[in-house]
Structure 1
Amino acid sequence: MKKLLFTSAVVLLFVACGGSGNDQKEATKEESKTETPAAPSISDDPVYQEGLALVAKPENLCLTCHKVDEKLTGPAYRDVANKYENTPENIKMLSEKVVKGGSGVWGDVAMPPNPAVNPADAEKMVKYILMLRNK
């Protein structure tokens, strides 16, 4: 009788404490299999980071006339991104507008030339802007 009581107590204790823990390990394995990894954020992209840094430089004056989601003097960057596909032709054309200036596309206010911005940096800025496209 003592053996039966002792065995029953050990079994109850074993069950109450969760057994060997294999069930918990297996459940954790199953959970990790079903979790989908988070999609990388565009802000993690080095092209995005480099373009943003160039746009934000005070000497480039970009943020004087533009914001990401609001029209100021010039169009919002997101509006530009939604208007132009991210193609090599558009990147080249928009980069030239950053350096040389432009007018007529977004209204009567002309974008002044930015001769201090070199063409390679202008291209990086445009690539950043085009990454802001609504999906």
Structure 2
Amino acid sequence: MKRTLLILSAVTLFLGACGGSSESTDTASSTATTAPTVSKPAMDPGELAIVKSDCIGCHNKDNKIIGPSYLEIAEKYPSTDENIALLASKIIKGGKGVWGEIPMTPHTKITEDEAKTMVKYILSLKK
């Protein structure tokens, strides 16, 4: 029994010491360096602000979740300075009744400029 264990240990050490050839490592590293890089288009500042906030919990670009989709909002409100200010205010202060009985919670940590940037992006989605 001890002899079998000793032989298995020796074989394991031998195989572990081999570690494979350096050729496969070089191939992997050269493949990684020659692979083409795909760059994403820069994200709109308003979209980036939305992604960084908690908006995705209630809103989606295309589909209604709890609140309306961004496309529904864009269809309802023309992109005017008055609407941008109104919607930015609703983001910050919250609101209820325009899209149903479920209230939109206030987002007091979002600045007016950030909210306006978000609204401009949303309204730019109008088809």
TM-score by length of 2: 0.66
- In the alignment, the residues of structure 1 paired with residue 82 and residue 50 of structure 2 have an alpha-carbon distance, to the nearest angstrom, of 21
Describe the SS at the equivalent of 1:92: helix
State how many pairs are aligned: 87
- Alignment-derived partner of residue 89 in structure 1: 82
Give the whole-Å Cα distance in 2 for the aligned partners of 1:119 and 1:56.
17
Q: CA deviation at 1:120?
A: 0.4
- Report the equivalent of 1:77: 70
Identify unmatched segments of 5+ residues in structure 1: 1-43
Q: Which amino acid aligns with 1:106?
A: W
In the alignment, is residue 56 of structure 1 matched against residue 58 of structure 2?
A: no
AA at the equivalent of 2:46: G
Local SS of the residue matching 1:120 = helix
1:98 equivalent in structure 2:
91
Deviations 1:109-133 (A, max 9, x none): 0000000101100000000000011
CA distance in 1, matches of 2:125, 2:95: 21
CA displacement at 1:105 relative to structure 2 = 0.3
Q: Distance in 2 between matches of 1:112 and 1:89?
A: 21
> What is the deviation of 1:79?
0.1
Q: Distance in 2 between matches of 1:102 and 1:114?
A: 11
Greater gyration radius: 1
Q: Partner letter of residue 113 of structure 2?
A: A
Equivalent residue for 1:126? 119
Q: CA deviation at 1:71?
A: 0.1
* Structure 2 residues without counterparts, runs of 5 or longer: 1-40
Identity of aligned residues (%): 41
Q: Aligned ranges for residues 5-20 of structure 1 at < 5 Å?
A: none
Structure-2 residue corresponding to 1:14: none
In the TM superposition, structure 1's runs of 4+ consecutive aligned residues that sit over 3 Å from their partners are: none
The whole-number CA distance in structure 2 between the counterparts of 1:103 and 1:81 is 18
Aligned to 1:108: 101
TM-score by length of 1: 0.62
Note the C-alpha offset of 1:101. 0.3
The amino acid of 1:95's aligned partner reads: A
Root mean square deviation, CA, Å: 1.3
